[in-house]
Structure 1
Amino acid sequence: MSASTDVDATVEQLLRDYDTITVVGASEAPAKPAHYVPEHMQSRGWRIVPVNPRGGTILGERAYESLADVPGPVGLVQVFRRSEQTPDVAREAVAAGATALWLQLGIASAEARQIAQEAGLRYVEDRCMLVEQRRTGLRAPAR
């Protein structure tokens, strides 16, 4: 099995297994991927939990200032932050009890990958969740 096939399988598992996506770096700006990607996922049935240091409301949901502030289980964490910021996000995800970490298209970090894998998190990097949802045709699992 090739590395690409392994990642494809992980992508499909994550989309099938999680009904909620905690989005670190979620944005209120409609033109930004950090807004329209989670918006697309929300429209396909996933619950979105935005994380943005400004707080407020994003996509009709309360935005939490940090992963540590998110109540309840975190599960799948989607990341819209610069690559050099992702090791800290990975550490925060592990501390918050996340079980999967997904770095969006254009975002990759060997250190974040190592942190996630050593903690047993399923891990995807440099892939767009919207593109992968369209490729697989999957919708959110029933809650």
Structure 2
Amino acid sequence: MPVETDAEVRNILDENTVAVVGCSSTPGKDAHKIPKYLQAQGYEIIPVNPTVDDVLGQPSYDTLSDVEEEIDIVDVFRPSSEVSGVVDEALARDDVEVIWLQLGIHDDEAVARAEAAGLRVVQDRCMKPEHQRLIASA
């Protein structure tokens, strides 16, 4: 079920726990700035990045499969070519409700698989401006 309306996006932004695949420890990168913003807004951020031990004061996991906490949203900051594998990992869990692909990230086949499995998918949007527009400004 494609997420297309502001009401649907607002509903997704009401979730709390966000696993950020590709979360960066480099302050200037979007994959650091956006999770930092979300964390400041009260979201629980779970970094997923095998190259760092922690990000934003949270331990970083190598893969989604390694995450012990429950996950509401999987926010993807990886190249489009890696989306299929991320979706496979998300589908192997029973807690993920949403796959969020950041600006410029696309994989229509993986999105179709996720939607067919009942997950909501946001594609080619950034959580920060969507949050600012729909939640913070309200």
- Using structure 1 for the length normalisation, give the TM-score: 0.88
Query: Is 1:128 the equivalent of 2:126?
Result: yes
State the partner residue of 1:110: 108
Indicate which of 30, 46, 49 corresponds to 1:33: 30
Is residue 95 of structure 1 aligned with residue 85 of structure 2? no
1:60-79 map, 5 Å: 60-79=57-76
Contact 1:10 1:122 in 2 (8 A): no
Distance 1:56 1:85 in 2: 21
SS at match of 2:82: helix
Paired AA for residue 59 in structure 1: L
**Identity score, percent:** 41
Deviations 1:36-71 (A, max 9, x none): 000000001101000001240100000000000000
* 2:78 aligned partner: 81
The separation in 2 between residues aligned to 1:137 and 1:48, in whole angstroms, is 18
Aligned length: 135
**Cα pair 1:7 1:124 within 8 Å, conserved:** no
Segment drifting more, 24-33 vs 91-100: 91-100
1: CA distance, partners of 2:49 / 2:135: 29
Cα displacement (A) at 1:115: 1.5
Gaps of 5+ in 1: none
